[in-house]
Chain A
Amino acid sequence: MEEVGANGRPGTVYFFGTCLVDLFFPEAGLAGIELLRREGLRVVYPQAQTCCGQPAFNCGYRDEALSVARAQVALFPEPWPVVVPSGSCAGMIRTHYPELFAGEPDEAAARGLAGRVHELTEFLVDVLHVSLVDRGEPVKVTWHASCHAMREAGVAAQPKALLAQLANVELVPLGRERECCGFGGTFSVREPEISAAMVEDKAADVAATGAALVLSGDGGCLLNVGGALERQGSRARPRHVAEFLLERTRGR
Chain B
Amino acid sequence: MGADGAPPPGAGAHGFRARATAALGDPQVRANFRRAMDGLMAKRAALFADPAEWRAMRALGASIRARTLARLPELLERLEERCRANGIEVHWAETTAEANEVVLDLLRARGATRVVKGKSMVSEEMHLNDFLEAHGVESLESDLGEYVIQLDGETPSHIIMPAIHKDRQQIARLFGRKIRDAAYSEDVDELTATARRVLRRKFEEADAGISGVNCAVAETGTLVLIENEGNGRMSTHVPPLHVALMGLEKVVERLEDVPPLLSLLTRSATGQLVTTYVNMISGPRSPGEKDGPREVHLVVLDNGRSRIYEDEELAVTLRCIRCGACMNHCPVYTRVGGHAYDAVYPGPIGKVLTPQMEGVDRRHELPHASSLCGACAEVCPVEIPITRLLVRLRAEASTRRVGSTVLGAGGARSGGEALSWRLWKRAFGSPGAYRLVSWLATRLGRLPVPRLGPLRAWTSVRTAPRPARRSLHELAREKGVPDA
Residues of A whose CB lies within 8 Å of any CB of B are: 15, 17, 19, 21-27, 29-30, 33, 42-51, 53, 55-62, 64, 67-68, 71, 147-148, 150-152, 178-180, 182-200, 223-224, 227-228, 230-231
Is there contact, CB below 8 Å, between B467 and A23? yes
Tell me the interface secondary structure of chain B in the complex. helix
Is there contact, CB below 8 Å, between A47 and B473? yes
Is there contact, CB below 8 Å, between A60 and B461? no
Say yes or no: is B462 at the interface (Cβ < 8 Å to chain A).
Answer: yes
Residues in B neighbouring A179, C-beta threshold 8 A: 331, 373, 375
Q: Mark B217-258, 1 if CB is under 8 A from A, else 0.
A: 000000000000000000000000000000000000000000
Is there contact, CB below 8 Å, between B24 and A187? no
State the CA gap A193–B365 with chains docked (Å): 14
Given known contacts A48-B431, A56-B425, A147-B375, is B475 in contact with A26 (CB within 8 Å)? yes
Total A-B residue pairs with C-beta atoms closer than 8 Å? 205
Is there contact, CB below 8 Å, between A230 and B421? no
Given known contacts A64-B424, A68-B425, A193-B17, is B462 in contact with A224 (CB within 8 Å)? yes
Residues in A neighbouring B428, C-beta threshold 8 A: 19, 50-51, 53, 68, 71
Residues in B neighbouring A53, C-beta threshold 8 A: 428
Stretch at the interface among B110-118, B301-309, B476-484: B476-484
- List 17 other contacts, CB 8 Å, given A180-B373, A231-B462: A22-B471, A27-B468, A45-B482, A50-B428, A56-B421, A56-B425, A151-B378, A179-B331, A183-B371, A184-B370, A184-B373, A187-B370, A192-B460, A193-B24, A195-B371, A223-B465, A227-B463
Residues in B neighbouring A46, C-beta threshold 8 A: 483-484
Is there contact, CB below 8 Å, between A147 and B371? yes
Stretch at the interface among B3-11, B198-206, B289-297, B396-404: B396-404
Residues in A neighbouring B417, C-beta threshold 8 A: 59
Is there contact, CB below 8 Å, between B461 and A191? no
Q: How far is the CB of A223 from chain B (nearest CB, A)?
A: 5
Tell me the interface secondary structure of chain A in the complex. helix
State the CA gap A37–B336 with chains docked (Å): 47
Say yes or no: is B60 at the interface (Cβ < 8 Å to chain A).
Answer: no
State the CA gap A196–B460 with chains docked (Å): 7
Residues in B neighbouring A22, C-beta threshold 8 A: 438, 471-473
Is there contact, CB below 8 Å, between A64 and B373? no
Among A29, A150, A187, A191, find the residue whose CB has the most chain B CB atoms closer than 10 A: A191
Residues in B neighbouring A227, C-beta threshold 8 A: 458-459, 461-465
Residues of B whose CB lies within 8 Å of any CB of A are: 17, 20-21, 24, 30, 331-332, 335-336, 368-375, 377-378, 391-399, 417-418, 421-422, 424-425, 428-431, 434, 438, 441-442, 445, 453-454, 457-468, 470-477, 479, 481-484
Given known contacts A46-B484, A50-B428, A147-B374, is B395 in contact with A61 (CB within 8 Å)? yes
Q: How far is the CB of B438 from chain A (nearest CB, A)?
A: 6
Is there contact, CB below 8 Å, between A30 and B331? no
Chain A residue with minimal CB distance to B398?
Answer: A60
In-complex Cβ contact of B374 among A43, A151, A231 (8 A): A151
In-complex Cβ contact of A59 among B421, B445, B461, B465 (8 A): B421
Q: How far is the CB of A102 from chain B (nearest CB, A)?
A: 12
In-complex Cβ contact of A194 among B336, B464, B465 (8 A): B336
28 example contacts (A-B, Cβ-Cβ < 8 A) are as follows A17-B473, A22-B472, A26-B470, A44-B483, A45-B481, A51-B428, A58-B394, A59-B398, A60-B392, A61-B421, A71-B428, A147-B374, A147-B375, A151-B373, A180-B371, A183-B371, A186-B368, A191-B17, A191-B369, A192-B457, A193-B21, A194-B369, A198-B332, A224-B462, A227-B462, A227-B463, A227-B465, A231-B463
State the CA gap A42–B481 with chains docked (Å): 9
Chain B residue with minimal CB distance to A188?
Answer: B458
Is there contact, CB below 8 Å, between A43 and B373? no
Given known contacts A68-B429, A227-B465, is B481 in contact with A43 (CB within 8 Å)? yes
Q: How far is the CB of B469 from chain A (nearest CB, A)?
A: 9
Q: How far is the CB of A106 from chain B (nearest CB, A)?
A: 14
Residues in A neighbouring B468, C-beta threshold 8 A: 23-27
Chain A residue with minimal CB distance to B445?
Answer: A23
Given known contacts A60-B399, A198-B335, is B482 in contact with A230 (CB within 8 Å)? no
Q: How far is the CB of A190 from chain B (nearest CB, A)?
A: 5
Given known contacts A46-B484, A60-B397, A189-B457, is B375 in contact with A178 (CB within 8 Å)? yes
Q: How far is the CB of A181 from chain B (nearest CB, A)?
A: 8
Given known contacts A17-B472, A184-B370, A193-B24, is B484 in contact with A23 (CB within 8 Å)? no
Among B336, B430, B465, B476, find the residue whose CB has the most chain A CB atoms closer than 10 A: B476
State the CA gap A9–B205 with chains docked (Å): 78
